[in-house]
Amino acid sequence: MKIAISRHWPLILSVIILWLTVAILLILSIKRNEGHLVYALDDPYIHMAIAKNFSQHGVWGVTRYEFSSSSSSLLWTLLLSAIYFIFGANEFSPFILNVIFTTAIIFSVYTIFIKYKLPPSYIFVFLLGIIFITPFPALIFIGMEHTLHVFITILFVYFSAKELSKESPTSLSTNSMPVFLWVLAALVPLVRYEGLFLILAVCSLFALRKRWSYAFFLGVFAILPIFIYGTISCLHGWFWLPNSVQLKGNVSTLIPLTSAFKLLGYTCYKNLLKSPHILFLIIAALVLYTLRFGKQKKVWEKEPLMIVIFIIITFLHMQFIPVFWFYRYDAYLVALGLAVVAIPLYEHLPKGGTRKIVIDKTFLPKYATNLILILLLALPVFSRIKWSIIQLPRATTNIYEQQYQMGLFLKQFYCGIPVAANDIGAINFLADINCLDLWGLGSKEVAKSKRNGAFGREQIFDLTKSKNIKIALLYESKSWFLDKIPFQWTKAGEWIISNNIVCGKDTVLFYVVDPSEENNLIANLKQFAFQLPNTIKQSGKYYSEITK
């Protein structure tokens, strides 16, 4: 036992530090949120709502009333559905799964580092870097699929590079490695659709290696599951891609006639400037690849291949996927980049015995270059580490004070009743409402109108009337619904949170859509007003009656 601890202390200590950090953040968050486990975004509750409805009602949808293509991570939602089917819907499963997958990531990266015989202290530093720069504590509290995405990505990149590095293709019938790769290939885009970038990169490398069967089967296994889902979605009248991908991604850049300038890389360049941590990882990867290639002139080796795959998918991601919203979209690039850079970087660091480091003066320029790279990388990541930790408790409180309270309010007064909203996660997980999503993630009519550029007051009024909507809970701002609220609606009240960092806006407004519902909504808001945390500022028609 002592020998195992001594030998594997970087892994053990890294996992302990991760768990302690998460435990401390969990305690702080629960204390701030009146004893509730709350996630740092509303989006995880969308997956949880779909999983609840699929496991309990057999309906793949944000509500149990109809199918909706609202999940961009089919694998994560299916995994939650299976757990909910066995144990019932609960708020703890996403958190526990994220802790498990993060621990699995640390173990996997440690195992890879050990294969390259990196020293323990060096491994420990990079494991801590991966934990806090990615940053995994934040991802765990986001409660979504991103830890699973990182885990599958690292495995697929490593084993793809290992297979590509072989001098001659092995028999598909006798070698188990390609079968394992096929399974991973199917999971990569199922966990997140941008995994197709990784599939494209690896299949292209297999094609360059003239291993056509590998490239073909990896592509088929990756595309087939999402093709099946896309077909099911279209049969239900939805798009082939989930609405979240349609509305959030730079899908228009796939159309060269309308986005020729963007295809030249302007979007990628702009996103890289917004993400200095990614930019410097790319610079480090390019420099290390150049140094290695200049020294050995070998392309088809595991280490440079992993760097090449990282570079390709990073440029593709930055071209087509916006980088925003609490560290999550670029997390897999950060973790993968740190892992693939760590291996060749060690070769260029000064080596020494147990007492001192011996520096070869002939390599001083190389050492200086490496030091500059490390310092450049350190500047943006310090801020990332700091704010990912500091902001977490506040982010969960934002969600608790706004979306969570909205869900509790609707659960108490509007179960089974048609309601319109723009944040649909927590309200649909906590309450059983017939929800019209006016942002478009959960309602195909809205998504199609927005895609056609015809979504304004008239469309909202007609749609809510046809759906028999009673009330609406919306943000009223220029970027949301400031110029789209139908004139026929009546504002009944508003809730305002403070120190907002993750909610779309700090003020949510309650509107009467059906005039016959006005007195009822005001009475319900007045009754619920005393259940709200006292940190929420209330105002509007209902609150003025309370304070009279």
Task: State how far Cα 316 lies from the chain centre.
Answer: 17
Alpha-carbon gap, residue 41 to 427, rounded angstroms: 13
Alpha-carbon gap, residue 524 to 1, rounded angstroms: 61
Strands (E), 135-219: none
Token readout for 167 is 């001098």
Which pLDDT tens digits describe the chain residue by residue (548 residues)?
555 667 889 999 999 999 999 999 999 999 999 999 999 999 999 999 999 999 999 999 999 999 999 998 999 999 999 999 999 999 999 999 999 999 999 999 999 999 999 999 999 999 999 999 999 999 999 999 999 999 999 999 999 999 999 876 555 544 545 788 989 999 999 999 999 999 999 999 999 999 988 899 999 999 999 999 999 999 999 999 898 887 765 544 444 444 444 555 677 878 888 888 888 889 889 988 888 766 666 778 899 999 999 999 999 998 888 766 678 889 999 999 999 999 998 887 766 544 444 555 555 666 666 666 666 666 667 777 877 888 899 999 999 999 999 999 999 999 999 999 999 999 999 999 999 999 999 999 998 888 888 888 999 999 999 999 999 999 987 778 878 899 999 999 999 999 999 999 999 999 999 999 999 999 999 999 999 999 999 999 998 877 76
Can you give the pLDDT at residue 280? 83
Look at residues 390, 433, 405 and name the one whose alpha carbon lies nearest to residue 66.
Answer: 433
Strands (E), 119-230: none
Can you give the pLDDT at residue 293? 66
Contact 518, 490 (CB under 8 A): yes
Alpha-carbon distances, residue 67 vs 95, 232, 420 (angstroms):
26, 10, 17
Alpha-carbon gap, residue 311 to 215, rounded angstroms: 19
CB atoms within 10 A of CB 117: 7
Alpha-carbon gap, residue 445 to 61, rounded angstroms: 15
Regarding beta strands 537-539 and 490-496, do their DSSP bridges make them parallel or antiparallel, or are they unpaired? antiparallel
Alpha-carbon gap, residue 236 to 68, rounded angstroms: 8
Strands (E), 120-217: none
Look at residues 504, 512, 498, 499 and name the one whose alpha carbon lies nearest to residue 540.
Answer: 512
Alpha-carbon gap, residue 370 to 380, rounded angstroms: 17
Strand, helix or coil for residue 161: helix
Can you give the pLDDT at residue 366? 60
Alpha-carbon gap, residue 371 to 369, rounded angstroms: 5
Strand, helix or coil for residue 472: strand
Amino acid at 372: I
Give the H/E segment covering residue 138. Answer: helix 136-142
Can you give the pLDDT at residue 243? 87
Look at residues 72, 157, 53 and name the one whose alpha carbon lies nearest to residue 428.
Answer: 53
Token readout for 282 is 């790319």
Can you give the pLDDT at residue 254? 43
Residues 6+ apart with CB under 8 A from 443: 68, 435, 436, 437
Alpha-carbon gap, residue 148 to 104, rounded angstroms: 9
Strand, helix or coil for residue 67: coil
**Strand partners of residue 434:** 418
Alpha-carbon gap, residue 98 to 134, rounded angstroms: 14
Q: How far apart are the first and last CA of the chain?
A: 70
Alpha-carbon gap, residue 32 to 394, rounded angstroms: 8
Contact 474, 508 (CB under 8 A): yes
Contact 385, 338 (CB under 8 A): no
Stated length of the chain: 548
pTM: 0.90
Can you give the pLDDT at residue 274? 81
Q: How many CA atoms lie within 13 A of 275 on its CB side?
A: 31
Contact 145, 191 (CB under 8 A): yes
Instruction: Please confirm whether the linkage preceding 135 is cis (ω < 30° from 0).
Output: yes
Strand, helix or coil for residue 94: helix
Instruction: Please confirm whether the linkage preceding 169 is cis (ω < 30° from 0).
Output: no
Strand, helix or coil for residue 367: helix
Alpha-carbon gap, residue 308 to 378, rounded angstroms: 22
